[in-house]
Structure 1
Amino acid sequence: MAKLVLLHRADSIYEDVPDQVYDFPRRYLATVEQGVGDWAVYYEPVKAGARGYFAVAKIASVIPKPGADGRFLALVEPGSYLDFDREVPRIRADGRPFESALAAADGSPIVGGAQQLAVRRLPEAEFAEIVRAGLPADLEQIEARRYDPQPAGMAEPPAPFQRPVIERLISRPYRDVAFRRKVREAYDYRCAMSGLRLRNGGGRPEVNAAHIRPVAHQGSDAVWNGLALSGTLHWMFDRGLLSVADDHSILVSHNKVPRDVADRLIVPSGRLVLPADPRARPHPQNLKWHRENVFGQMPLEGPRPWD
């Protein structure tokens, strides 16, 4: 097995869906096959944007691409993809690349050569350094202190436990925090369905990060599989009382939700309030899955939030 770097651009002509599949030509087949069962870091090339290293995922298998001779698909292990909390620049503050393969003998960045490869081997130490920069070990503590920097009775915050990189990547509590931070930030802490940006007395945002396709049903922790929703609308979305069409209009199960309730809770336009960054907007495949598997199909029992 081997760690890899996978180049990806949002406007790629290939059928890449970073949390599902990576499309590549035969020339990279041997390298990608070495990465099966191991982790890869996604990298945005210079000409495509400024993000640098932006996510990590585990490669499950490689198959020939149906109907495309000479092309292959690396299938991503369901639930493994995770956006970095902080996008990692291509070059360190000291001017050296994170990848030794992209550095000249004096440590300065090279132009061309390995930098142009769509798939690159990545030494373990460099993989760990990039992931630590994008997903800090103390992310959970950072979030806990965000609106309460000095908890009562604590002289100073404890030093973070340096959990190994892979252990963090498979930790559900850690991933939940990373997902919540990315989704709420993408929506500017505003509920996508009500349009409201509410904060409690301490300044903490009163908005949840909802998975469109749950992780338990092979959904990912990608920001485009999330919606920022208020507590009530999150409850309704998870129970199939609400869904979203491909044009981002909000669908309501009117046989279960009184019209006056929907009118009070949902933005007057009846359409999602979307992130400014198109890359963070809900993926059509996830919206389709929710409509086909959740919307209008869940039994509604017990008290309802609007009663």
Structure 2
Amino acid sequence: MKAELSPIIVSRLEKAASDNGFDQEIEREGGWLVFASTQSPLRVWLWAFGDAAFFAAFSQHNVARVLGEYGAPIVGPIPKGAVAGRTVPDVPALHRLLRRALQLSKALPNELLHRFEKQVAMPPTTTEAERLVVQRVGQNLFRDGLLDLWEGRCAVTGLAVPALLRASHIKPWADCETDAERLDVYNGILLAPHLDAAFDRGFITVADDGTIVVGDALDPDARRTLGLDRPLHVRGLADGHRAYLPWHRDRVFQAGSKVGDVA
């Protein structure tokens, strides 16, 4: 049983949860405050050690694995039902941790697929118009997932104007064998329009370390105009992306020589 939380700390934890999308408070478990969300299946458990440390445990492995930069791992037991947790030093950091956790829970692999399957039900035979509607639903979900994963910023330039950003598939929708591939956020990169067009047409690709590689098809003037004459890098690249990038380098990228994998 954990130490009793003061009313002030409880109020802070409740506000952090509600402000960041965990809008359903559940019965406490062993001193932990427990919250769910109407936007996501993710559940979170919160506790604090005075004002010195704040603890959050999560119910989804895929979310917990990606939160490394947002806090240190919890040392010690976590609540039953939680899979992992993070500790942060103050309330603002707790807000950032919870906001990012909810974003990830709505975007990471399988979540988009589950949402897609709920929204569309493909009959045994469909018309071309119906297939286009289903594709549009999937592509909109995919874009929303990439906006969540990259927090509404271009993965290369940092441009933070969502209306201008493009959800670029690494392996194109038409070439994917399953809806799981099509809706896997790791099969995409959120890009500014000029980078999206260059990536889609194979003028640029991405090495496994995130480096933007420019093909020989673009001459120096074109590179300068597009801002590709300086080193560029995709931030936040994960192993999931590296599973798809060889396909783009081998099938789409226009290069005088093969790019190959970069460690």
TM-score (normalizing by structure 1) = 0.41
TM-score (normalizing by structure 2) = 0.47
- Could you say which structure has the higher helix fraction? 2
**Larger RCO (CA within 8 A; separation ≥ 6):** 1
